[in-house]
Amino acid sequence: MSRICSICGKKPAAGRKITRRGLARKKGGVGRRITGVARRRFLPNLQTVKALVDGKPRRIRVCVACLKAGKVTKAA
């Protein structure tokens, strides 16, 4: 099952996690050093909801931003 919102099309975004060590110069150290860069994915907060699609109740995956904005009409 894909990690894409059925309403807005939000999907995973790629990014990096930067690992640093050392004490900042501001705090009396020699400065922060980057020791590693790891690739990572930012996943959307998807929820499975029973919603009305074309007048019929169906299960769809929707991001929480769309749910909060009221873009989804829930089925009873």
Q: Is the pLDDT of residue 76 over 90?
A: no
Cα angle: 54, vertex 9, 48; to 5 degrees:
65
| pTM of structure | 0.76
18 or 2, which is more confident?
18
Instruction: Measure the CA–CA gap between 61 and 56, rounded to whole angstroms.
Output: 15
**What are the residue ranges spanned by the domains of the chain?**
13-69
For residue 43, the model assigns a pLDDT of 97
- pLDDT digit string (tens) for 8-52? 999 999 999 999 999 999 999 999 999 999 999 999 999 999 999
Q: Provide the β-strand partners of residue 16.
A: 39
For residue 67, the model assigns a pLDDT of 96
